[in-house]
A and B are shown apart, each in its own frame.
Chain A
Amino acid sequence: DAGVTQSPTHLIKTRGQQVTLRCSPKSGHDTVSWYQQALGQGPQFIFQYYEEEERQRGNFPDRFSGHQFPNYSSELNVNALLLGDSALYLCASSLEGGPEDIQYFGAGTRLSVL
């Protein structure tokens, strides 16, 4: 049973560019959340997708956008990259109304903005 998978593992971009990160949730899960973890800090919630719609959003600018596909996989897009966007981006999945009430995390995508 595959857990949460994220791609790519590492990414290097230049300021002003755009980036797309991908996430496949754990089998059977239908909800995907994205978090940003800056170096030396705890993860911060970006947004959550359920039924292909953004359901919750953290305190991030609209340069950060996302999408969820019918197969529950998700993408995180960041436009006009800034140096401060360099971080580990974590995807977490869960099952709406499920019995476990926990989120499973992927290994993350490390984004470096030069």
Chain B
Amino acid sequence: AQSVTQPDIHITVSEGASLELRCNYSYGATPYLFWYVQSPGQGLQLLLKYLSGDTLVQGIKGFEAEFKRSQSSFNLRKPSVHWSDAAEYFCAVDPIKAAGNKLTFGGGTRVLVKP
């Protein structure tokens, strides 16, 4: 079945440490891939997207993600986490690859940052 999986429900990381959030998808062809962040009481903010081309994508707030076709993965990374990065992170896909097409989201990973 077509799906998006975020294996880690919660991740706790110390401030200044690196962070990696996992995302795996199960689709016949490579979909468009997105990472969104949701802070408490806020909507979803787009961090970065992969449509095609370079498999290492740079985003806002110092985040990057790497698309690996062989592993059907699109993992999100940040070299040094700040306390303000505490939030919930969602991986999303658009398998139709059309602008504004409906997104299918993973279940999310909640990131806690220790001082």
Contacts and interface: CB of A to CB of B under 8 A. Distances in A.
Interface stretch (A61-69, A71-79, A88-96): A88-96
B99 interface: yes
B20 to A, nearest CB: 19
Q: Which of B4, B106, B108 has the most CB of A within 10 A?
A: B108
Q: How large is the interface on B (under 10, 10 to 19, 20 to 34, 35 or more residues)?
A: 20 to 34
Contacts of A105: 36, 43-45
Given A42-B108, A43-B90, A101 B43 contact: no
A90 to B, nearest CB: 6
**What is the predominant secondary structure among interface residues of chain A facing chain B?**
loop
Interface in B1-49: 4, 6, 32, 34, 36, 41-46, 49
Interface string A87-110: 000101011111011111111100
Given A43-B105, A102-B49, A95 B100 contact: yes
Contacts of A33: 100, 102
A24 interface: no
A41 B107 contact: yes
B102 A98 contact: no
Contact of B105 (A40, A42, A98, A100): A42
Contacts of B112: none
A94 B90 contact: no
Interface of A: 4, 31, 33, 35, 40-45, 48, 56, 58, 90, 92, 94-98, 100-108
Given A43-B103, A107-B43, 11 more contacts: A42-B6, A42-B108, A45-B103, A56-B102, A95-B99, A101-B32, A103-B46, A103-B103, A104-B46, A105-B43, A107-B41
